[in-house]
Amino acid sequence: MISATIVALGDSTTAGTPGFQSPIEVPPDGAGNVESQYAYWLMRARSQWRVLNHGVNGERSDQIRLRFERDVLSLPVDLVVVIAGVNDIYQDRPVEHVERELAAIFDRAASRQPRLPIVAGSILPFNGATAEQNHRMIAVNQWIQNYANRYPHIEFCDTRAAVAHPEDPNCLVSSPDGLHPSPEGYRLMAIALEPVIRRALARIRMPDL
């Protein structure tokens, strides 16, 4: 029995690149290795959750915001996980650009009645990022955490830390291409996200969680 429907919204690190293409990218079911997406591992951990993979490879935060209505609010969804911003940084967008777009997403979720809970993940590292790129990613991630601390409908999850190499937090612990997690990395994302999602759902008194 499905007790919660969750939308995973984001870019390539939500879609499951490079091993998997999401159902948004390849309708209706996606294509590739299903283990290369954190949505799969969340449903393995919690069979009563339905997790919809709505990631799109290469998208910036503004592009993700533009499809928020279609891919999240038009659906009977209980919670959304948002991880966005790495492509903005990669394309030399400023920190303020990402913060503005994420704030718009968070505010739109808050305007729904009833208010839609959000789990906001931090931007994942990628191997070979410059010191300046890492500085901007860390700045955005700190902003996300601070924003979540101010609003009760948002929970922060440090997905960056979950996939970071123990000897170099600015690199992925396991990656087939240096840019995205391996299936094991996506599993680690799910391990970090699962208790945060459970806590957020408990706040709206979902049964059987």
What was the pLDDT predicted at 205?
Answer: 59
pTM score above 0.85: yes
Is the predicted pLDDT of residue 7 greater than 80, yes or no?
yes
What was the pLDDT predicted at 203?
Answer: 84
Q: What is the pLDDT of residues 74-120, one digit of tens each?
A: 999 999 999 999 999 999 999 999 999 999 999 999 999 899 999 99
Is the predicted pLDDT of residue 208 greater than 50, yes or no?
no
pLDDT (average), residues 7-35? 98
Residues forming beta bridges with residue 168, ordered by sequence position: 165
Q: What is the pLDDT of residues 149-165, one digit of tens each?
A: 999 999 999 999 999 99
Q: How confident is the model at residue 204 (pLDDT cuts 50, 70, 90)?
A: confident
For 121, list phi and psi in degrees, rounded to 5. Answer: -90, 155
- In this structure, the strands spanning 4-10 and 79-83 are parallel
Q: Which runs of consecutive H residues, i.e. helices, occur in 5-130?
A: 12-15, 38-45, 61-66, 68, 86-90, 95-111
The pair of three-digit structure tokens given for residue 7, joined into one six-digit string: 């939308």
Distances 12 to 9, 43, 110, 138, 179 between C-alpha atoms, Å:
10, 19, 25, 19, 10
What was the pLDDT predicted at 2?
Answer: 87
Q: What is the pLDDT of residues 121-144, one digit of tens each?
A: 999 999 999 999 999 999 999 999
What does pLDDT average to over the chain? 96
Q: Check: CATH 1.10.357.10 for 4-203?
A: no
Domain spans of the chain, in order of start: 4-203
Q: Which residue type occupies 83?
A: I
Q: What is the pLDDT of residues 106-117, one digit of tens each?
A: 999 999 989 999
Higher pLDDT, 207 or 61: 61
Q: What is the pLDDT of residues 37-49, one digit of tens each?
A: 999 999 999 999 9
Distances 189 to 26, 28, 96, 112, 172 between C-alpha atoms, Å:
23, 24, 26, 27, 12
Is the predicted pLDDT of residue 207 greater than 60, yes or no?
no
What was the pLDDT predicted at 125?
Answer: 98
